Structure 1
Amino acid sequence: MPDYVGSVLLLLGLLQVKHMFADFYLQTPKMLCGRGEYFHMGRAQHAGVHILGSILVFLVFQTPLSFILIICAVEWIVHFNIDYCKASYSDSKQLLPNMAGFWRAMGTDQALHHFTYLAMVWAWVEYAAS
């Protein structure tokens, strides 16, 4: 196996671990309430937690600062809007955890976030990996 494949898998794995902590362990009540409103400071802070984690992950890989700033700015925008779409949809359908639609919305949200990480890793390989 080429050396870079191990780096790609490790980078993707670390981004997924970061995601687990940022999405499921580090959310505050402010981040969780009122998410169906677009300009929501809690959602902005939540996306910021994701960005801080991504910065740390990319620093581990000695990624150039310019790449980190660009990729994390894009990640913040994408993450903020994915979460808004899920919250808006869930609110409009009045979804609760005991409903299948809630879990479809949650699963779609999580898949979109992980597709974002695939795109970020692709960009890292294409533009930042040495």
Structure 2
Amino acid sequence: MSDPLASLLGLLCLLQIKHMFADFYLQTPKMLSGRGEYLHAGRAQHAGVHVLGSIIAFVIMGAPVGFVLIICALEWVAHFNIDYCKACYSKRKELAPDMAVYWRAMGTDQALHQLTYLAMAAAWAHVSFG
């Protein structure tokens, strides 16, 4: 395995670990309530937890500060809006965990977050390895 490839896989691993904790272990009741409102402080905080984790991952990988600030600001916007869309859809359809469509919505939400990480990692690889 080449060094750039090992580095890219290392970054993706860090982003996966960050995502698991930010999405499934570190959400507070405030983050989980009122998700159908667009300007929701809890969702902003939740996206902020994701950004903090990504900053840590990129710092570990030695990414330039300017790059980290830009890519993490973009991640915040993406994460905030992905979660908002899922919340609106879930509320409109009155989804519950015993419904198959609930899991399709959850899977779509998670896939969009994962695609965000792939885009972030591709941008980092471009900056780091040309």
In 1: Cα distance, 2:100 partner to 2:47 partner:
26
Alpha-carbon distance, 1:2 to partner: 1.3
Residue identity matched to 1:83: D
In 1: Cα distance, 2:84 partner to 2:128 partner:
30
With normalisation by structure 1, the TM-score equals 0.97
Q: Does residue 72 of structure 1 match 2:58?
A: no
1:45 corresponds in structure 2 to 45
1:84 corresponds in structure 2 to 84
User: Structure 1: which 5+ residue stretches go unaligned?
Assistant: none
- Partner of 2:108: helix, strand, or coil? helix
Alpha-carbon distance, 1:99 to partner: 0.5
What RMSD, in angstroms, separates the aligned Cα atoms of the two structures?
Answer: 1.0
* Divergent runs of 4+, >3 A: none
Q: Give per-residue Cα distances to partners, 1:79-118, cap 9 Å, x unaligned.
A: 0000000000000000001101110000000000000000
Q: Percent identity?
A: 67
Alpha-carbon distance, 1:129 to partner: 4.6
User: Structure 2: which 5+ residue stretches go unaligned?
Assistant: none
Task: Note if contact 1:95-1:102 (Cα within 8 Å) is conserved in structure 2.
Answer: yes
With normalisation by structure 2, the TM-score equals 0.97
Alpha-carbon distance, 1:3 to partner: 1.2
In 2: Cα distance, 1:92 partner to 1:129 partner:
45
Residue identity matched to 2:55: I
2:122 corresponds in structure 1 to 122
Q: Give per-residue Cα distances to partners, 1:48-81, cap 9 Å, x unaligned.
A: 0000000000000111000000000000000000
Report how many aligned residue pairs link the two structures: 130
